[in-house]
Structure 1
Amino acid sequence: MTQDLVLDIDGTRPLTAEAVADVVALCDSAESRGGQGAVVVRVSGAPGELRPEDPTVGLVSKWERALHRLERLPALTVGVADGDCGGLALDALLATDYRIATGSVRLVPTLAGGGTWPGMALYRLARQGAWAAPVRRAALLGAPIGLSDALALHLVDEVSDDPEAAVAATAELTGDISGAELAIRRQLMADATTVGFQEALGAHLAACDRTLRRVAAGTAS
């Protein structure tokens, strides 16, 4: 059985080149394994208000691109959150496929310059939370999103007092779905919010064709 890849992210720490490199290295490892095994991102902590000398726009761009790569990995990505999660921790959590939370979790927007940090966490919150009231309060006022709201809005998938067991059970849910096939289905779901039926149809038919060919090959063997 392939061992899961694990990355710990401390949301109290500032964005650095090392943080970007850690996510890039995780993605390199996952891609080199062809999607075998899960990728587990354990997050906790929230920063204080950002200072002018903290990140540069160039560094933020590299961080966001690394997280976007994490979102598209040919492997199941599982976020495990504990306590307050903000900053890098919230960014990474929202980029995972399946999110497990302990009972103490709150999603905490980062504050900067008298407002909320306008990074891609706001984009993911709005895209995934459908502009519900808790998301609007978080994005515009910096109000934390409590666990009950996070569950109701599907920003987290389950609450567990044994995250390791929950991760193992989640990994089993993928069954025989390969990493590449998982990535294809993730992309089809993401496209559904912005792509019209006619444009989406071709991609879905191509995926169906690949699946039928794989089933036929398996039956023949």
Structure 2
Amino acid sequence: MNDDLELRVDGARPLTVEAIAAVGAVCDTAEDRGGRGRVVVYVSGAPDGPRPAGLTVAVVSKWERALRRLERLPAATVAVADGDCGGLALDALLATDHRIATESVRLVVPVEGGATWPGMAVYRLAHRAGSTAVAIRRAVLFGTPLPARDALALQLLDEVTDDVSAALAAAEPLGELSGPELAIRRQLLFDASTAGFEEALGVHLAACDRDLRRTGSGAVS
């Protein structure tokens, strides 16, 4: 798809300001284009060994904010995962709309100093697959890798395939649904599991009103 933007995230690399800037640059372009096309995020790799010295909470916060921006883009985001995906790769994978994986994929929560990394990947794993799932508990508490087929069964992945090109081609129509309306629908979906009915009702009615005005299909009062 000619309108695709690409982002490559290597989970074996440490978190740096350059990694944050790369996400920000893709988000800038997607927003400038009004969400036209897709953002395809290629993820692979997992940390192997101790974290480099000098990482601060301030840098982690900037990374999490960059991922949140990716998660809220007015463009459809599609991840393509290969091999072990941990660290930055796992973070980016879980922030996308549609996730394609090869059979070799394993989702890995990194372990160092006798504990797993408590970043927002933990939140996204539990929020999307359920904190009571045995595989999620083991991944979050003990760093037990989650194989592709298990992740698919938990709906953390949308497709496991040995033909990534065909899967990407089949997902091309996702790029046709873009712009602010996509971002609004995505946020409604995010909030659905935590908002009470009365709280959600007002937000959904506002979105319905917006859509009626946008399409010109609402009744004139």
TM-score (norm 2): 0.93
The 3-state SS of whatever aligns with 1:48 is coil
Asked whether the 8 Å contact 1:100–1:163 carries over to 2, the reply is: yes
Moved segments of 4+, more than 6 Å = none
- Aligned-pair identity (%): 66
Match of 1:162 in 2: 163
User: Which one-letter code corresponds to 1:127 in the other structure?
Assistant: H
The 3-state SS of whatever aligns with 1:58 is helix
User: Which one-letter code corresponds to 1:62 in the other structure?
Assistant: K
Asked whether the 8 Å contact 2:14–2:52 carries over to 1, the reply is: no
Q: How far is 1:163 from its partner?
A: 1.8
User: Which one-letter code corresponds to 2:155 in the other structure?
Assistant: H
Q: How far is 1:2 from its partner?
A: 5.2
Shifted more, 154-163 versus 62-71: the winner is 154-163
**Deviations 1:188-211 (Å, cap 9, x if unpaired)?**
011111111111111111111222
1:123-142 alignment runs, 5 A limit: 123-131=123-131, 132-142=133-143
Q: How far is 1:103 from its partner?
A: 1.0
User: Which one-letter code corresponds to 2:170 in the other structure?
Assistant: A
Change (3 A) 1:213 1:191: same
Pairs aligned (count) = 216
The 3-state SS of whatever aligns with 1:80 is strand
2: CA distance, partners of 1:162 / 1:215 = 38
User: Which one-letter code corresponds to 2:205 in the other structure?
Assistant: L
Q: How far is 1:213 from its partner?
A: 2.3
Shifted more, 73-82 versus 178-187: the winner is 178-187
Q: Does residue 201 in structure 1 map to residue 204 in structure 2?
A: no
2: CA distance, partners of 1:53 / 1:68 = 25
Shifted more, 93-102 versus 197-206: the winner is 197-206
- Please, what is the CA RMSD of the aligned residues? 1.5
Structure 1 runs not aligned, ≥5 long: none
The 3-state SS of whatever aligns with 1:15 is coil
Asked whether the 8 Å contact 2:36–2:175 carries over to 1, the reply is: no
Q: How far is 1:178 from its partner?
A: 3.1
Asked whether the 8 Å contact 2:149–2:160 carries over to 1, the reply is: no
Q: How far is 1:171 from its partner?
A: 2.9
The 3-state SS of whatever aligns with 2:35 is coil
